[in-house]
Structure 1
Amino acid sequence: MFKLGINEQVARSLSGAADNNNAELLRRRVGHRTRGHGHGPITRLMSPSDLGQLLKPFVFLDIFDMGEGFLRAAASGGGMPIHPHSGVATVTVLFEGRLQYDDPRMGSGTLGYGGVEWMRAGGGVWHGQEMSAPPEVSRVQGFQLWLALPPDVENGAPESRYIEAADMVRVGPAHVIVGAYGGVSSPVPSPEGVNYLLVTLRAGERWIYSPPVGHKVAWLALAAGMLDAGESITSGEMVLFEEGEHAIVLQAGPDEDVVFVLGSAVPHPHPLHLGNYSVHTSDAALLEGERRIAELGLQMKAAGNRRTSAGTVPVFR
């Protein structure tokens, strides 16, 4: 986890639009943009110690691009190391390729575009190799998001779900990954007051996102193509919108389709207390989470090799 300070100029830029009668201000404007920090197949766009402080409950976002070499190494035990979490929920969505899961508790299947892995770490889990690419897949791209959990569940029982694309819901060009929008609700059992969408727009297509009441936090990250949000957004960028509840007006560039994720939420009212892999609302909750993941680590080591025939290692909780 990167331990970066908050840029005060960025914070000021997100304080909201000036109050005047210009109708154009009804369109939510971009307040800040970033391309994050890359390391191997992963680019970290946000962490809990930088932009996550401004966008909480959204506290962490990675965009990943795993090629054939990385995927084959992962299938034989390399790739992403197994690591712990507490106090957060993780949400993984793909926009290119497929990953398979194989878990004795939840069965087996495949996630592609529009499917989701939801993992509420709660009091503690170890994970990192619970999905693998089928042999015929040579590239996988997607996003992993962390959500800070409210106090009543941050140290509660963990939960994992794999929901395939056919069981997710859509509104126009958007898959509703988390939350409720346009009269439909995601099957993901997330806290209230959070929306997270995976959207594809055709070249030249215009789309307006009208956030629910109270969703003053909003951002998007663009995986492919070019978007006009009042100013140009290019592939690989994450942008933070001004605080407020105005609509977000987007139009795809004229030459290619665009794919992006968009989040909006009621602001998380609690401070973030950070561990190496944990985010909690108090020091006491953090200590309890770290105690539990240390205990689980010993149990996991004692359990020995749990790798399945598909090359996955189920979440340990």
Structure 2
Amino acid sequence: MNSVLANNTEVAVRRIVYRTRGHGHGPITRLMSPSDLGQIAKPFVFLDLFDADKRTIQAMADMPLHPHSGIATVTVPVEGAFNYEDPDSGTSGKLAYGGVEWSRAGGGMWHGKELSAADTPRIQGFQLWVALPAELENGKSESCYIEARDMHKIGPAHVIVGNHEGVQSAVPAPDGFNYLLVTLMPGDRWTYRPPAGHTVGWLALAKGQLDAGAPGCASAGEMVVFEPGETPIALEASGQEGAVFVLGSAVPHPYPLHLGYYSVHTSAQALEAGERRIAELGNKLKEAGDRRTASGTIPVFR
């Protein structure tokens, strides 16, 4: 751990120990997978940055339905908006900056078309996978859509998941991890103080540049992982434009990752049960036929 002088006081700096720009697949950049940085940042095991303009939005819409088990997915837009239509709750609307889709796959679900891009020239955001604890990994599947007006905020941070500085997220997630969406104006400084036990820490930028303490600069399109520990993460928006980023912290996931193609579990037995369940759901999905809604979305199947 390094230290710097700030106002003649020595301040600890949380060092960056890994950084990546991931691998691009059309409008999607895979920053983290369960087989690489997910092994280090678990329970955070997967992160995509999507960035599509009018020309490439259709490429995202053409992605097929696919299954999950053992994880939760968290989708947040940072520019533009998604339409959603939820037959379970009878609600529909738009998810823009500060809003979230939360889907706990548990024992199994199929999804991929439950969101559609609103009428916007650009859609940008993040999709995160979080490995579930053993007691939930093959449990009930659930989803919810929470618009920005119903999300909770403190300072520059929307509390997407968890509890930050006493502000609790509206998302019904298990304890043990925080996930924040933050915007800093040029020159703004902000410090994240992780809760006790949250020794995992990382961030990923959609826009701008951040100084995390020399040599800790990070820029748009980059994900950085901090050294383990509970030292605060001090950041400054150092570019000419504001910095927009997501930040995660967590109690380390205490299990090895047992990986399927779309599933992450705590044991081989749990993985086998999850993959068996999503295969059963796949057969039922075929029998269900056309489930497309009036808005063009296809609801999560569980």
Band of TM-score, shorter chain: over 0.9
**Residue 275 of structure 2 aligns with which residue?**
290
**Residue 116 of structure 2 aligns with which residue?**
132
**Residue 5 of structure 1 aligns with which residue?**
none
Identity of aligned residues (%): 65
Which segments of structure 1 move beyond 4 Å, counting only runs of 4 or more? none
**Residue 251 of structure 1 aligns with which residue?**
236
* 1:220 to 2:203 alignment: yes
* Cα displacement (A) at 1:183: 1.2
* Cα displacement (A) at 1:236: 0.6
* 1:30 to 2:16 alignment: yes
**Residue 138 of structure 2 aligns with which residue?**
155
The TM-score normalised by the length of structure 1 is 0.90
SS at match of 2:254: coil
Deviation per residue, 1:164-216 (Å, 9 max, x gap): 00000001000000000111100111111100000000110000101111110
User: Which structure 2 residues correspond to residues 14-29 of structure 1 after superposition, within 5 A?
Assistant: 17=1, 24=10, 26-29=12-15
**Residue 241 of structure 1 aligns with which residue?**
226
**Residue 232 of structure 1 aligns with which residue?**
217
Measured in 2, the distance between the counterparts of 1:123 and 1:254 equals: 44
Measured in 1, the distance between the counterparts of 2:299 and 2:56 equals: 19
SS at match of 1:198: strand
Deviation per residue, 1:203-230 (Å, 9 max, x gap): 1000010111111000000110111001
Deviation per residue, 1:50-70 (Å, 9 max, x gap): 100001000000000122133
Measured in 2, the distance between the counterparts of 1:253 and 1:187 equals: 31
**Residue 272 of structure 1 aligns with which residue?**
257
The TM-score normalised by the length of structure 2 is 0.94
* Cα displacement (A) at 1:254: 4.7
RMSD: 1.4
Structure 2 segments unaligned to the other structure (5+ residues): 4-8
Measured in 2, the distance between the counterparts of 1:310 and 1:73 equals: 18
* 1:62 to 2:48 alignment: yes
SS at match of 1:26: strand
Measured in 2, the distance between the counterparts of 1:303 and 1:154 equals: 25
Deviation per residue, 1:68-110 (Å, 9 max, x gap): 1333466xxx522100000000000010000010121122111
User: Which structure 2 residues correspond to residues 34-113 of structure 1 after superposition, within 5 A?
Assistant: 34-72=20-58, 78-106=61-89, 107-113=91-97
**Which has more strand, going by share of residues?**
2
Contact 1:71 1:132 survives alignment (8 Å)? no
**Residue 303 of structure 1 aligns with which residue?**
288
User: Which structure 2 residues correspond to residues 170-249 of structure 1 after superposition, within 5 A?
Assistant: 170-230=153-213, 231-249=216-234
* Cα displacement (A) at 1:253: 1.4
Contact 2:208 2:239 survives alignment (8 Å)? no
**Residue 246 of structure 2 aligns with which residue?**
261
* Cα displacement (A) at 1:18: 7.9
SS at match of 1:33: strand
